[in-house]
Chain A
Amino acid sequence: MSEYLLDVKNLSIYFFIQEGTVHAVNDLTFTLKPGETIGLVGETGAGKTTTALGIMSLVQSPPGMVVDGQIVFEGRDLLKLSEAEMRKVRGSKISMIFQDPMTSLNPVIPVGDQIAEVLLLHENLSAADARIKATEMLTKVGIRPERAKEYPHQFSGGMRQRVGIAIALACNPLLLIADEPTTALDVTIQAQVLELMKALKVEFNTSLIMITHDLGIVAEICDKVAIMYAGSAVETADKYELFRNPKHPYTIGLLNSIPDIEKDEESLKPIKGLMPDPMNLPGGCPFHPRCDHATSRCAEVVPPRVEVAKGHFVKCLLFEEGGA
């Protein structure tokens, strides 16, 4: 077996709709070792969530379809599994935390029962044992066990997200996908939830895919980062390498757009223009219309994935081997 828990190779996911084809994920490649955390970073429409749903085989089809690539998890290509086999993986080996804890929990079932539900499905437990395990999980995420009988609306946003984490970790998954888990929360509550996730990740020895638009969270919690733009990872590197030595013009632009609380700058250096429409991506490098370094070649050639330093991959013609 390979050293990787998850090996995503050349993944492409398209949505075929009446108006045309939406290229949501394009030739995406990244890997994840056991216990590692990768941050998928990008702006709205970069394909982060579609990637997560693709790994879970939850892309709605039709109109969505994985048109190319492999998602190798524990040595098996998830794309080749039947729905019945996939159902055994989902929730037990790979589970997910969603952005909005209000809509992802069932409003008419007590939270304890919602945690017990996954346990009943995947572990060979009696209803009574599942309930006991569920209260244990609540304690682990910092909720008093007697609140197991309460409903989601009786919890605050941060507490609800803790319930989501308890459900996701109940079966001790190998891989946890967190889709913007703290975006809906206030900063002090976000700090609590991130701290909890860090501790539980170590305790459960879970690999984590952290989907976020916040580079601060990446610096905080991740081991490595994939910067996504128009459905593709334009730059992938170890966290330290990426922040100290960013290469891709988009990564640099993104870092420059954030108001830095440590520094005192007169004006921000935003990236010009807008995200391209995934139905109508520009030819060549998808970033070239917004890029300050673009040449005429950038409009024609799709940049290959080049390893500029060990484990640091960039998709940009500036770093093409033998190129400029």
Chain B
Amino acid sequence: MNDILMDVKNLKKYFKTKKGPLHAVDDISFQIKRGETLGLVGESGCGKSTTGRVILKLIEATGGEVIFEGEDVLKLNKKDTRTFRENAQFVFQDPFASLNPRMSISQIISEPLIINKKAADKDDLMKQVRKLMDTVGLALRLENVYPHELDGGRRQRVGIARALALNPKFIVHDEPVSALDVSIQAQVLNLLGDLQKELSLTYLFISHDLGVIKHVSNNIAVMYLGKIVEMSDYKSMFLAPEHPYTKALLSAIPVPNVDITRERIILEGDVPSPINPPPGCRFYGRCFQRKDSCKDIDPELKETTPGRFVACHVVNEGKA
């Protein structure tokens, strides 16, 4: 069996707006190996959530391929899409908005089992629900409570239990810990790590928090304005970032340690609008290493060293 579970090729998603097409995801490619985690990191509006949604067919792609276990999921018919969705699940950011307030915890977790007819009878259903609650560390006494009675961490556990209900192979986590306090965040991150090992799950982990991303990922892809600007394994990404945006992003994180002083790169300005982006490098306007040629020619994502991809004229010329 192929050890690449998810192979995304030239994925595009444009949204129509009054001012012109909004390039939310603009021609990105990546692969995720079975049992591994790809961390997708970037600032607001860079297209990371859209990427997660498009590959699970929650919104329709404009172009490209999403090969999951050898099949292009974007071409699947309705029935096969359903099977695909059993295998590929989504955990949402906001545990307040993603759980139905009128359903009890056991109803929320059992819903996917009922819809997909995975339970023989009521007893079997409750048995499965209790097992899932146990897996994610929810006390069984909570089965009849409603989401508003739970704190953020427990609510996120409900969302995770629901995603696990159909024994998926692949889960997209969209900022699953961003709404949580650090001490609770650490509990949930440890849970996700344990589940991945136990159930050999493959994750796409979306976050704006580089500390979290580094902690959970095998590989990291950095997005900027709909493009992947750098992709590599998590260690070399943090030890030796190559793309100027990655460098600036890493240097911008405040580190909770008073004995490390790092050189800080302060970027000018804001992220530009993804509507009708100019030709050339998307990062041109804020880049501190830019050259004139960057303005006109869009840099390709090139492998600079094995396993490491960078989309930058300056970096790639230096290596050539």
Contacts and interface: CB of A to CB of B under 8 A. Distances in A.
Contact of B257 (A43, A188, A214, A262): A262
A309 to B, nearest CB: 16
Nearest to B234: A264
A245 B182 CA distance: 20
A195 B252 CA distance: 10
A217 B256 CA distance: 7
Contacts of B184: 43, 270, 274
B181 A43 contact: yes
B185 A261 contact: no
A254 interface: yes
Contacts of B208: 186-187
Contact of A268 (B190, B250, B270): B190
B273 to A, nearest CB: 10
Interface residues of A, number: 45
A294 interface: no
B258 A257 contact: no
A20 interface: no
A253 B186 CA distance: 10
A297 B249 CA distance: 47
A216 B254 contact: yes
A269 B210 CA distance: 18
Contacts of A44: 181
B270 A258 contact: no
A293 interface: no
The residue in A187, A195, A217, A258 that gathers the most chain B C-beta atoms within 10 A of its C-beta is: A187
A239 B211 contact: no
Interface residues of B, number: 40
B153 interface: yes
B190 A261 contact: no
A191 B253 CA distance: 8
Interface string B246-280: 00111111111111100010110011000000000
Nearest to A222: B258
A192 B253 CA distance: 11
A291 interface: no
A218 interface: yes
A270 B44 contact: no
Nearest to B45: A186
Contact of A259 (B215, B251, B252): B215
A192 B210 CA distance: 17
B260 A262 contact: yes
Given A158-B270, A262-B260, A216 B181 contact: no
B215 A268 contact: yes
A203 B186 CA distance: 39
A255 interface: yes
Nearest to A239: B258
The residue in A43, A265, A269 that gathers the most chain B C-beta atoms within 10 A of its C-beta is: A43
B151 interface: yes
A187 B257 CA distance: 17
Contacts of B257: 219, 243, 260, 262
Interface in A169-224: 186-192, 194-195, 213-220
Contact of A261 (B44, B187, B193, B211): B211
Contacts of B251: 191
Contacts of A269: 186
A187 B253 contact: yes
Contacts of B153: 274
B252 A190 contact: yes
A47 to B, nearest CB: 14
A191 B270 contact: no
Contacts of A215: 256
A187 B258 contact: no
Contact of B254 (A214, A255, A257, A270): A214
A187 B249 contact: yes
Given A186-B43, A261-B255, A268-B215, A254 B266 contact: no
The residue in B182, B186, B270 that gathers the most chain A C-beta atoms within 10 A of its C-beta is: B182
A60 interface: no
B256 A188 contact: no
Given A156-B270, A215-B256, A216-B255, A188 B249 contact: yes
B214 interface: yes
B161 to A, nearest CB: 18
Contact of A267 (B193, B248, B254, B258): B193
B259 A270 contact: no
B256 A258 contact: yes
A220 B260 CA distance: 10
Nearest to B215: A259
Given A218-B256, A270-B190, A261 B266 contact: no
B255 A262 contact: yes
Contacts of B258: 219, 239-240, 243-244
Contact of A217 (B215, B248, B254): B254
A192 B267 contact: yes
B182 A43 contact: yes
A159 interface: yes
A117 B45 CA distance: 34
A43 B214 contact: no
Interface string B187-211: 1011001000000000000001011
A220 B181 contact: no
A275 interface: yes
Interface of A: 43-44, 156, 158-159, 186-192, 194-195, 213-220, 239-240, 243-244, 253-262, 264-265, 267-271, 274-275
Given A244-B258, A257-B185, A261-B250, 13 more contacts: A44-B181, A187-B208, A187-B210, A188-B252, A191-B266, A216-B254, A219-B257, A243-B257, A268-B190, A270-B187, A270-B190, A271-B186, A274-B184
Closest CB pairs A-B (n = 7): A216-B254, A270-B186, A215-B256, A259-B215, A191-B252, A186-B43, A257-B186
